[in-house]
Structure 1
């Protein structure tokens, strides 16, 4: 077992798409952009009863983290109010969960408002290297993403930031992204593997399972102070029946349940996998 899972504890996180498919940005990897007309559910605000149900299901499945995700470039007043109202309800109704927000670019002032409502961490991924980013998005800059991550640190929230492998990036791009991530001193680094949708312009992910496992190892080695290396989107598709191997390469956190627009596997299968590997579900965070 990798040294980062020597304590045999795996942090589980669940994500909740509270606003889906309404983004006007042109990120070529994202089916939530209105530009690509992907066949996904689209709605502006998920019903609070449904969000609360998902939160309770996440808690019952062993998740510590619960992430409130919105599909847009960044926070505006309406979205900020919506996320804060949900956070206050969840803090009261499901206090066991550690609330995370993922709402795009944000100012320090906006992040402090989220913090006051009960949000403990903020997720904003760099996605890829600064050099490669213009090839996958032209409607906003990589620098805006990096600045938001710096704002998270300034606001005193836990920073969660990572990226996507399999977008067509080079090895040099991967190293550059990891160096940038490490410079931000994140607590958690989510690794995603591009999950192709036929409506998107990008070519399907050509990585093999062995290559993907080595990218987990590379991420862990490049960001040694991160408490968690999380394997998130694309896990089931990328690794298939080899998912248990990710923990030997440095992962100590996974997303359970469904993703933003794609289905994950049944939570009980992940729990059975962890039990088989004699890995415990984390009950608290440092």
Structure 2
């Protein structure tokens, strides 16, 4: 496998006002987690975050909103932010992550500069009702199909550590494979005292086994990104995720939790002989 690693950054552009009941998510108003909540981050701030991400060698930049899906107001806001980022920052693969979406909405995003759309399956279809009851797994899968129809690149994955079985883990990954995504983010549950979920932080070896399983099922060419939970799950052993088959990470902060200093990640990659990819087509 190539020694090149892809870096992606996240911008939480609308935070903490979701009315869904996903038990793993601090953005739900149902659980009252102590997080920053706001409807629209200033577009100028989003652009500055994109510039900073590019300086830190991220080639993916994701515009994330809280909520079940795209309504007209959110769609206009994401389009405005996307246009501003594309105008000011070169070399970014611009990703939108705004929940369930129709083909029409996704085509509008594409027309305003969005390159990829992220919508995770989260877990297997069988286990999903245990972590969310306000919208269904099939709706998530159909949004991913809509992404492909709209001509956007698809980014979809899930979370490990929610209480799912080994069979659920494999089923989720095979469902992801059936969608033929370009990029697959795998997250590891980050416990929060406000959440009702009986999940756990996986031990390092179990988490590495999940990375290896994902690579085995998804094949050698797909981009496999370790995203949320990298810090709490792997600590300073996170370099081992690349030996297990990952070739991408999220750098900087997440939606409601802090990540590691991107410069630390740069140093870690260099120390272990990895290069930072310069473009989506690299490596």
TM interval, short-chain normalised = over 0.9
Deviations 1:30-78, CA, capped at 9 Å, x for gaps: 0000000000000000011211111111000000000000000000100
| Equivalent in the alignment of 2:91 | 96
Task: Indicate conservation of the 8 Å contact 2:91/2:279, yes or no.
Answer: no
The answer to whether structure 1 residue 38 and structure 2 residue 42 are counterparts is no
Give the Cα separation in 1 of the matches to 2:234 and 2:28: 26
Indicate the larger mover: 188-197 or 274-283. Answer: 274-283
The answer to whether structure 1 residue 18 and structure 2 residue 10 are counterparts is no
| Equivalent in the alignment of 1:235 | 230
Regions of 4+ moved over 6 Å:
none
Choose the corresponding residue for 1:105, options 87, 100, 103. 100
Q: 1:226 to 1:76 in 2, by over 3 A?
A: farther
Structure 1 length-normalised TM? 0.97
Instruction: Count residues with an aligned counterpart.
Output: 281
Shift of 1:227: 2.2
Give the Cα separation in 2 of the matches to 1:60 and 1:129: 37
The answer to whether structure 1 residue 182 and structure 2 residue 192 are counterparts is no
Indicate the larger mover: 51-60 or 254-263. Answer: 51-60
Task: Indicate conservation of the 8 Å contact 1:9/1:282, yes or no.
Answer: yes
Give the Cα separation in 2 of the matches to 1:216 and 1:42: 32
RMSD: 0.9
| Equivalent in the alignment of 1:264 | 259
Give the Cα separation in 1 of the matches to 2:231 and 2:218: 24
The answer to whether structure 1 residue 197 and structure 2 residue 192 are counterparts is yes
Secondary structure of the structure 2 residue equivalent to 1:238: helix
Q: Could you list the runs of 5+ residues in structure 1 that have no partner in the other structure?
A: none
| Equivalent in the alignment of 1:133 | 128
Give the Cα separation in 2 of the matches to 1:109 and 1:77: 11
Shift of 1:175: 1.1
Give the Cα separation in 2 of the matches to 1:257 and 1:285: 19
Give the Cα separation in 2 of the matches to 1:246 and 1:130: 26
Q: Could you list the runs of 5+ residues in structure 2 that have no partner in the other structure?
A: none
Give the Cα separation in 2 of the matches to 1:226 and 1:41: 37
